[in-house]
Amino acid sequence: MLDTYVFGWIICVTLSAFAICNFVFAGKKFCASLETDAAMCAENITTAAGECRQSKRDGEVDVVIVGAGVAGSALAYTLGKDGRQVLVIERDLSEPDRIVGELLQPGGYLKLIELGLEDCVDKIDAQQVFGYALFKDGKHIRLSYPLEKFHSDVAGRSFHNGRFIQRMREKAASLPNVRLEQGTVTSLLEEKGVIKGVQYKTKDSQELSVCAPFTIVCDGCFSNLRRSLCNPKVDVPSCFVGLVLENCELPYANHGHVILGEPSPVLFYPISSTEIRCLVDIPGQKVPSISNGEMAKYLKTVIAPQVPHELHDAFIAAVDKGRIRTMPNRSMPAAPHPTPGALLMGDAFNMRHPLTGGGMTVALSDIVVLRNLLRPLRDLNDAPSLCKYLESFYTLRKPVASTINTLAGALYKVFCASPDPARKEMRQACFDYLSLGGQFSEGPISLLSGLNPRPLTLVLHFFAVAIYGVGRLLLPFPSPKRIWIGLRLISSASGIIMPIIKAEGVRQMFFPTTVPAYYRNPPLA
């Protein structure tokens, strides 16, 4: 009863605070076209007027997908299963070796089931994940996913990213109407403002082109095509340093572990039955050199003392082993300019800090939205009408995408250490708020897991944490200094979350039904 009373009091105060906040919505339209004078390959013909048309000699292609990562492979299988003729062009079809994209939240696993791809986590030694453990200053708490309403198989999954992608590729290639080809796409083919296909270079350096009514670009975080289809604003807030720990066990089995360390979080989670991934976050874009030993020294002297004792020796052994990897963490709000004949998906379209492991969940959710929009269409040849219709995609994806994006960005800033007393209080308040249990922990963890894609619930919990922190400062007796820190805490919380919400789009996040595209009907066949 006390928990419910306190939670109700916090929500009431939070709603009042939320009501007086003025969100700023700004939209930008960026129009650009990519002019490409490409020679058509044997599978295509070029008319005297320069129009791109497809030869039916080898069968028509309905969709060209650029990239066969998680998004591209899942999309190819999904559209192929719906009867589309799909060609996937991937730069390298060998097994990827990455240090991110290894944790799929329960919400993402549910999308995997919805797409018929749940068996892709089988036979790769994937591990079930049931929640998180949070460590700070010698204290720790366990936060379990609220999975009581789901089948026993529903949980998070962690695995080797490359193994998962290879299983997805195999699943897509098993369909007779899906073809995977190794090649590097160099440009999009445009004709009178409409994307007609792509030009690419094969493995043996042959220049080819392929035309299709619809091109979907899923070429990942390093995309060289996104500038043709959106207005990218890529931020690199930090870098991950990756290690693999062996011959040790996590303090909480089958849980992700987040250490609120100095200067920023350290993550541990299983990626197989014998291996644990460690990701050390280093703020900024500059990291200590690996080649001259500065990185090893940094990990041993700064990070190792903050690692739980159960993992300390394995951590040192992994550093000594020397296979240290780095990866810049990118964040990029979705800022498309709809282009007839083409669409952006996956990390080429939208990225968030990987702290919360939400990237694959967003990508799979986007694929479900796109699949449902395309299913009523018999053909995709009317590019302008299709483009207008698919404007609804950008609104329909928002509940899941904006919740996960906003939470990832906000949590990263809260979890990073800071000399600012207000930020210190916010960090401690977040840890203590989650420690309360009940609705205080279940609400945030359901948002993080992708099981509760409700942006308003996220904002309410975020400001509830801030107000909880202020309440601790003012009780039992407020002082001028504590009142000042409390005011700065509220200001700091607003400064963290408001820019993220603005970038996501206030109207699409909180009032999607007021967006005209929300009600867009399929074009007439």
Q: Class assignment of domain 47-124+159-233+332-381? A: alpha beta
For 29-38, 292-301, 499-508, which range has the lowest pLDDT when averaged over its residues? 29-38
What are the extents of the domains in the chain?
47-124+159-233+332-381, 236-331, 405-511
Residue 394 to residue 518: CA distance in whole angstroms: 9
The per-residue pLDDT for 59 is: 53
The per-residue pLDDT for 106 is: 98
Give residue-wise pLDDT tens across range 422-468: 999 999 999 999 999 999 999 999 999 999 999 999 999 999 999 99
Show Cβ contacts of residue 385 under 8 Å, excluding neighbours closer than 6 positions: 523
The per-residue pLDDT for 60 is: 84
For 24-28, 86-90, 212-216, 491-495, which range has the lowest pLDDT when averaged over its residues? 24-28
Give residue-wise pLDDT tens across range 81-115: 999 999 999 999 999 999 999 999 999 999 999 99
Position 2 pLDDT exceeds 60: no
List 279's β-bridge partners, or say none: 242, 267
The per-residue pLDDT for 4 is: 43
Residue 417 to residue 465: CA distance in whole angstroms: 17
pTM score of the predicted model: 0.89
Confidence of residue 519 (pLDDT cuts 50, 70, 90): confident
Position 18 pLDDT exceeds 90: no
Confidence of residue 523 (pLDDT cuts 50, 70, 90): confident
Q: Specify the DSSP element, H or E, that contains 231.
A: none
| Burial (0-12, 13-18, 19+ Cβ within 10 Å), 113 | middle
Confidence of residue 37 (pLDDT cuts 50, 70, 90): very low
Alpha carbon distances (Å) from 410 to 128, 220, 243, 284, 405 = 26, 23, 25, 16, 9
Fold for the domain defined by 236-331:
Alpha-Beta Plaits (3.30.70)
The per-residue pLDDT for 12 is: 42
Rounded to 5°, the CA angle 381-68-172 comes to 75
Compute the average pLDDT of residues 403-411: 97
Compute the average pLDDT of residues 135-140: 96
Give me the helices (H) in 292-380, please: 294-298, 309-321, 359-374
Domains 47-124+159-233+332-381 and 236-331 belong to one CATH topology: no
Compute the average pLDDT of residues 153-164: 97
